[in-house]
């Protein structure tokens, strides 16, 4: 073991020397570095790379080993730690050294370059040295490639143009672009920037002006140039100009792309020019333009905007045939179109196809289908889709619950509407004024004003501000059952809440008073309505006239008929016939004839309602006015007035059934067909014709 140490040590030393000798370039580099070192570093004993700390450490290790060997001390780990010291030393010698900073010899280098003196450049190329590298690699610009003042000025102008465009300053951008054009530095990108800015600011004329200037210059426009110009015209609604530039694009041999197609189709769709959009769509397909889901969705949207769901379905089918997958926007557009048409089957089918295609429907799609079910009064269908929406992991929103509540209301199921509003609140979904008002309307529809009032109270307690519609619905519910006191109380509460009554709320109270024949209250509320600056309409005046007629006060009814005209509210047939009711009952046919004549003078066409009033007046007269009744009947038939069963009965009551049948035959009236299929056509405002007929 003692003799093994020198052998191993010599072997390691020879290996180290061989490794160093095997790389003459490394030795040369080391020699060069030592030669190039400053004089102070050469003279310093500690500064030498051969006399540094690693060498000293290695020398001490060798010395220690020699001492151990001479003293006869055996060390089992001597070879190991010696190697551990030798390896770092070897790495220290073989690792590249940082080159000391050397002062540049600009004059000498230039002289060498010019005179050809000195060693060639390649001879000085040492690994790790940067002297032999090209100047461009060193980040040094050659004098020939340095930017000229003109180039710097042009670059500054382009930067200024970009800055103006980003700021949306179209005038400043135009001024900078003109400078670039004058200096010959403008390119297609510069023009595209300002054309796009003109499009965004709805300046189609300026966009087209710059496009023309671009075409007149030597700058060739690209697809982006034409797309920006087409977009400018499309945004302004000038589809003709958009088509012009599209045609110009094709003539210039610039291939339209998907963006071009989408811009043109969207412009046509926006203004309802579906035929033009379809024509261009088909042309793009023939030209091989790659169409995407946006292209087809724009076409589908164009069809749905004019209510053409069949055309929209056609484009959806074509999109699927061409291998373009629809997205949630595509299907939701079509579903919403079916919803607007209250086509429940179509909306449900589209949503089913969408889900079957693996497209995840959003809440808009589900809400549209639920709303369609609501419009059709299909409560079970609405509830079923709500359950599917919940199963899909979508959040049920206020709109979702409101649609289901509306379905219950339309089917007159107040208890179910109440259940879903309670369920909505239990699920911590915020109910809004629509939620409560829909439930209030549900109770009003079934004639339960107390229930409607209770939910109005619940709404106010929940902190949801009631509006005029909420109160008006409850007032109408009380008016519907003839509860004038309840209607008046709610209108007073409405006023106390700081909500001013509108025409509907005041008219409902007046109508409630009219139903019980309280003329004074009807008139008082109409006066109060006028004092509050609320304009009455024909229904308002008709309610007061009805109140007077119900009280048998024909003269007062005629006074309100005149006041109605003075208020510049045009009476209708119902107004005149209600005013005539007391006179009809009294058999005062002359006053009834006078009112029917005034109706004609107002330019209103006489109808079956007028004929019935006259015939009943003739029948109630003493003696009965048979000749007048026959003459009136012949005149109304000659005028083409559609007759009802009530008019025929009124005539038979005056002239007798036999004479009436003879008159029917002479006038060509099919009495049997009318009596078997006629319905009470006339209905106006809050008082129906059925109520008028029951009066007799």
467-571 belongs to CATH 1.25.40: yes
Point out the residues of the chain with pLDDT beneath 50: 1-49, 99-144, 678-696
pLDDT at 619: 95
Which residues, listed in sequence order, are joined to residue 688 by a DSSP beta bridge?
683
pLDDT at 39: 42
Tokens of 587: 């058999």
pLDDT at 87: 60
Whether residue 623 is preceded by a cis peptide bond, meaning omega within 30 degrees of 0, is yes
Whole-angstrom Cα Rg for the chain: 49
Q: How far is CA 4 from CA 11, 76, 85, 330, in A?
A: 11, 12, 18, 87
Tokens of 650: 């009124």
DSSP string, 388-434: HHHHTTPPP-HHHHHHHHHHHHHTT-HHHHHHHHHHHHHTTPPP-HH
pLDDT at 258: 84
pLDDT at 52: 59
> Residue 94: which residues within 8 A CB-CB, separation 6 or more?
19, 20, 26
Instruction: Give the single-character DSSP code of 98.
Output: P
* 514/686 Cα distance (integer angstroms): 10
Three-state SS string over 273-328 comes to CHHHHHHHHHHHHHCCCCCCHHHHHHHHHHHHHCCCHHHHHHHHHHHHHCCCCCCH
* 95/210 Cα distance (integer angstroms): 64
* 225/678 Cα distance (integer angstroms): 68
Exposed, middle or buried by CB within 10 Å (0-12, 13-18, 19+), for 452?
Answer: buried
Q: E strand or H helix at 684, and its extent?
A: strand 683-684
| Intrachain domains 153-254 and 467-571 with the same fold | yes
Exposed, middle or buried by CB within 10 Å (0-12, 13-18, 19+), for 290?
Answer: exposed
> Residue 608: which residues within 8 A CB-CB, separation 6 or more?
636, 641, 642, 643, 644, 646, 647, 681, 682
* 241/229 Cα distance (integer angstroms): 9
* 52/58 Cα distance (integer angstroms): 10
Pick from 595, 548, 594, 539: nearest CA to 569: 539
* 694/390 Cα distance (integer angstroms): 52
∠ CA(598), CA(681), CA(556), 5° rounding?
35
Exposed, middle or buried by CB within 10 Å (0-12, 13-18, 19+), for 477?
Answer: buried
* 454/473 Cα distance (integer angstroms): 12
pLDDT at 685: 35
All structural domains of the chain with their residue ranges: 4-94, 153-254, 467-571, 576-694
Instruction: Give the single-character DSSP code of 37.
Output: S
pLDDT at 74: 55
* 407/367 Cα distance (integer angstroms): 12
Residue 366 near residue 389, CB atoms below 8 Å: yes
Q: Looking at the domain that runs over 153-254, which CATH code has it been given?
A: 1.25.40
Tokens of 152: 């710097």
């Amino acid at each position: 073991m003692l003799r093994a140490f020198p052998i191993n040590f010599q072997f390691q030393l020879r290996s180290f020397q061989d490794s160093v000798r095997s790389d003459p370039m490394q030795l040369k580099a080391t020699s060069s570095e030592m030669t190039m070192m400053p004089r102070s570093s050469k003279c310093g004993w500690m500064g030498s790379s051969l006399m540094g700390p690693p060498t000293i450490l290695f020398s001490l290790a060798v010395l220690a080993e020699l001492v151990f060997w001479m003293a006869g001390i055996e060390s089992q780990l001597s070879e190991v730690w010696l190697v551990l010291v030798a390896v770092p030393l070897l790495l220290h010698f073989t690792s590249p050294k940082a080159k000391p900073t050397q002062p540049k010899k600009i004059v000498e280098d230039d002289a060498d370059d010019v005179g050809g003196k000195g060693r060639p450049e390649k001879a000085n190329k040492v690994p790790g040295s940067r002297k032999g590298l090209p100047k461009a690699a060193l980040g040094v610009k050659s004098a020939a490639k340095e930017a000229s003042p003109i180039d710097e000025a042009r670059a500054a102008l382009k930067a200024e143009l970009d800055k103006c465009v980003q700021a949306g300053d179209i005038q400043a951008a135009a001024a900078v672009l003109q400078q670039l054009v004058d200096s010959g530095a403008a390119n297609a990108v510069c023009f595209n920037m300002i054309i796009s800015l003109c499009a965004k600011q709805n300046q189609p004329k300026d966009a087209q002006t710059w496009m023309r200037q671009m075409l007149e210059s030597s700058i060739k426009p690209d697809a982006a140039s034409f797309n920006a110009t087409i977009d400018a015209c499309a945004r302004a609604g000038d589809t003709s100009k958009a088509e012009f530039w599209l045609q110009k694009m094709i003539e210039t041999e610039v291939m339209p792309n998907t963006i071009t197609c989408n811009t043109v189709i969207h412009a046509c769709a926006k203004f309802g020019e579906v035929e033009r959009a379809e024509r261009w769509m088909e042309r793009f397909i023939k030209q091989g333009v790659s169409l995407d889901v946006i292209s087809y969705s724009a076409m589908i949207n164009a069809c749905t905007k004019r209510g053409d769901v069949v055309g929209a379905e056609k484009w959806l089918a074509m999109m699927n045939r061409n291998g373009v997958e629809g997205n949630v926007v595509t299907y939701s557009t079509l579903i919403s179109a079916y919803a607007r048409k209250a086509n429940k089957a179509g909306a449900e089918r589209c949503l089913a196809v969408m889900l079957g295609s693996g497209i995840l429907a959003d809440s808009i799609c589900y809400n549209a289908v639920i709303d369609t079910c609501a419009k059709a009064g299909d409560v079970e269908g609405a509830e079923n889709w709500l359950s599917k929406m919940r199963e899909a992991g979508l959040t049920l929103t206020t709109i979702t619950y409101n649609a289901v509540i509306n379905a219950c209301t339309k089917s007159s199921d107040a208890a179910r509407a109440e259940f879903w509003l309670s369920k909505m609140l239990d699920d911590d979904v915020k109910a809004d004024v629509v939620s409560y008002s829909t439930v209030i309307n549900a109770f009003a529809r079934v004639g339960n004003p107390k229930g409607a009032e209770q939910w109005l109270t619940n709404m106010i307690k929940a902190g949801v501000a009631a509006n005029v519609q909420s109160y008006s619905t409850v007032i109408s519910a009380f008016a519907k059952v003839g509860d004038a006191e309840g209607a008046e109380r709610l209108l007073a509460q409405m006023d106390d809440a700081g909500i001013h009554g509108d025409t509907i709320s005041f008219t409902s109270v007046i109508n409630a008073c009219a139903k019980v024949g309280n003329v004074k209250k009807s008139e008082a509320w109409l006066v109060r309505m006028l004092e509050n600056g609320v304009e009455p309409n024909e229904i308002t005046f008709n309610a007061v006239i009805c109140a007077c007629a119900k009280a048998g006060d024909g003269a007062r009814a005629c006074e309100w008929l005149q006041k109605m005209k003075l208020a510049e509210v045009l009476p209708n047939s119902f107004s005149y016939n209600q005013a005539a009711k007391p006179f009809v009952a009294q058999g005062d046919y002359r006053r009834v004839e006078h009112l029917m004549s005034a109706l004609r003078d107002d330019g209103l066409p006489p109808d079956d309602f007028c004929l019935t009033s006259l015939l009943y007046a003739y029948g109630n007269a003493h003696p009965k006015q048979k000749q007048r009744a026959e003459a009136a009947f012949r005149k109304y038939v000659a005028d083409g007035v559609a007759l009802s069963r009530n008019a025929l009965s009124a005539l038979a009551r005056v002239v007798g059934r036999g004479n009436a049948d003879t008159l029917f035959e002479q006038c060509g009236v099919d009495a049997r067909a009318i009596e078997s299929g006629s319905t009470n056509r006339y209905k106006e405002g809050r008082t129906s014709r059925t109520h008028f007929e029951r009066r007799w």
